[in-house]
Structure 1
Amino acid sequence: MATVQESIPHVIRTADDPRQDGIWTARLSQIQPINSKIRLLRLSLPRDGPRLRHLPGQYIDLYIPNVDVVGGFTITSPPQAAIQTQEDPHIELAIQSSPTNPPAAYLWRPESEILNSTVTFKVGGNFIYPPQTLDPKQYSRLERVVLIAGGVGANPIMSMISAMHEAGITNTADGMPRIVRVLYSSRRAKNSQGDGEEVLFERRLRNIAELWNASKDVDYKYTFFETSGDRAEQEEQRENVTTCYRRISHDDLSKAIGPESSRKDTFVYVCGLPTMTDEFVSLLKHSPGIDEKKVLCEKWW
């Protein structure tokens, strides 16, 4: 994730998670500020090195020279971006400013100090898309997938949606579920001048949704819930993209998972702050018609 609960080191908190074999070396090739608290980093991979096969939603154990603490950060890019036939095979990380977390503090140093530096990492995690419980024949095209993100919980969800989108461009029948619902809740921070800052991945998620609006094969809807409180209860809708100025409600969840009669074929991914995740997962697992094993979540606390 972009943040780490500092009282429990990443490697201890995730000790039981599976890790892929191998260690990769990458160059910090690009730094892009998103707002005053979050920056995107590109870690470029050598084209002649071992192939990286990460899955959408996984994280990395990041090893930084002269930093004793191992960092834990979710990969926000799709696996397709790391393919070595790409011009610049890479992974992307979203890093939130955290001065007391040594790996994050290093990655928030001035660009001139860290750009083109070398890091190594391992890949791990089991909060992945497609679901682990399905074999390739079963997930060749899922019926309905609902992705719910809150705050920095957008990180694994972004990787999943990007992977679906990239595969769907190549082959709609195998790349995208028949029905996709994306619910993203976040505050919009203000800068020192009082202007609203960009929200991590909101523009990217909106753009992907708009590209699927005209599809005859995929029913794709994206709703962004801005919780800053400036425009309470207002709603703006344009085609398959909606902006609501409030929190995600239980009614929103019920609509997203679809009619009770079809919920057995619905997979739900939830990642957000502790109270939100616990509340939503409990509600969803007890919703009539839902298979609770198909409600998946990631906790980083």
Structure 2
Amino acid sequence: MTKQSHIERTANEPRDPSLHTITISCITEVTPTIRLFRLDISPNDSIKFLPGQWVDLYPPANANVPKPGGFTITSSPSLAQPSSSPPHHPATILARSPDGSGNQAQHVQHGYIELAIQASPLNPAAAYLFRPTPQLLHTQVRVRIGGSFTFPPPSLSEHVNASLRKVVFVAGGMGINPLMSMLSWLGEQGDDGRFDAEVRVLYSVKDPRGMNSSNGNDNVDGDGVVREGREILFLERIVELFKAPTRLKGGLRLFLTGSEGDRSGNDKNVVKCADGVEVPFMRRRMAVKDVEEALGCDKEDAVAYVCGVPAMTDEFVQALVSPGGFGMDEKRVLFEKWW
């Protein structure tokens, strides 16, 4: 059976008719197989999207990629709008004063969207985006906004959304991508006091120690194995969202898979972030019971977002909505499968 392309899988999803030309301005290597892209929006253009949506991404015509790739936007919609920026900021344009003289010029940061993309040699669009960085920087691609896996939940009324007591985000691997956009947007609402529900994040991902062991770098110190937050996609960003009391209230549970642990017995089961925060983790796969515990007795006033590989997503969603199981209202369990 031939694997469906992104366009074929999402044929029934809503799409904006507009195509936008944007510029690759920054590429960050998160791991050897994951890149973070910042794509600047032209000052003469504007892109609007909901937290959780994705883009059809069309590489340049000379790349010979016949179909667009589908990649989730990981930034908040607010960052797609231009904003003031210090003069030394690397991504600025010079705005002239109303009289055109430039005497009262100010620096304006480009609006942008962010994409986190995993290497996939069999996906032509992803393969293009894993060309050597110098070949990609400052080049242009085209994007179209699409998708219905968004926050606030489109399946619930505005009144019900306003009365939510808890939001539980469940991510497996790269399934964190749409949830990161939602979390970032919710953090902004918390800053302004517009969102007061409890937020729980359950994140299951491969142990970075396992990734490092292939190149002989075990990151060992006197306390045993050191796992660093920067090695896990968006971990430090999520931790930061929960640190400020005016932002998100709730917490994170981290699950690391694919590790046998430190044979010396010194492994502390924590990931160390750049600011000194230590994030504890469970050395196992996330289970349905973990999600049910996070929802607790609030399932009538909560929503759950699940995003991961198809087998995981199907298992979790079915268990949550099953009348003989956890019994949540189907409208309160939203999901997207990461292929």
Name the TM tier (shorter chain): 0.7 to 0.9
Write the letter of the residue equivalent to 1:166.
E
Write the letter of the residue equivalent to 2:76.
P
Structure 1 position 220 matched with structure 2 position 218 = no
Cα displacement string for residues 102-131 of structure 1 (whole angstroms, at most 9, x for unaligned residues)? 111111111111100011110000011111
Give the Cα–Cα distance (whole angstroms) in 2 for the partners of residues 105 and 89 of structure 1: 26
Q: Structure 1: give runs of 5+ residues left out of the alignment.
A: none
Q: Structure 2: give runs of 5+ residues left out of the alignment.
A: 85-108, 219-226
1:230 CA displacement: 2.7
Pairs within 5 Å for 1:1-301 = 7-49=3-45, 51-66=46-61, 67-85=65-83, 87-140=109-162, 142-169=164-191, 171-172=192-193, 174=194, 176-188=195-207, 189-190=211-212, 191-195=214-218, 198-211=231-244, 214=245, 219-231=249-261, 242-259=280-297, 262-286=298-322, 287-288=325-326, 290-301=328-339
Cα displacement string for residues 189-233 of structure 1 (whole angstroms, at most 9, x for unaligned residues)? 22512436711112221222223xx45x96411111111323399
DSSP-derived class of the 1:298 partner: strand
Cα displacement string for residues 75-118 of structure 1 (whole angstroms, at most 9, x for unaligned residues)? 01110110134622100011111122211111111111110001
Distance 1:143 1:116, change over 3 A: same
Give the Cα–Cα distance (whole angstroms) in 2 for the partners of residues 223 and 268 of structure 1: 15
DSSP-derived class of the 1:193 partner: coil
Give the Cα–Cα distance (whole angstroms) in 2 for the partners of residues 6 and 80 of structure 1: 38
RMSD, aligned CA: 2.6
Larger Rg: 2
Q: Could you tell me the TM-score, scaled by structure 1's length? A: 0.87
The structure whose residues are more often strand, as a share, is: 2
CA contact (8 A) 2:59 2:125 kept: yes
State which drifts further: 200-209 or 223-232. 223-232
Counting matched residue pairs gives: 288
1:180 CA displacement: 0.8
CA contact (8 A) 1:234 1:245 kept: no
1:21 CA displacement: 2.8
DSSP-derived class of the 2:250 partner: strand
Write the letter of the residue equivalent to 2:137.
L
State which drifts further: 284-293 or 235-244. 235-244
Give the Cα–Cα distance (whole angstroms) in 2 for the partners of residues 268 and 61 of structure 1: 26
Q: Could you tell me the TM-score, scaled by structure 2's length? A: 0.78
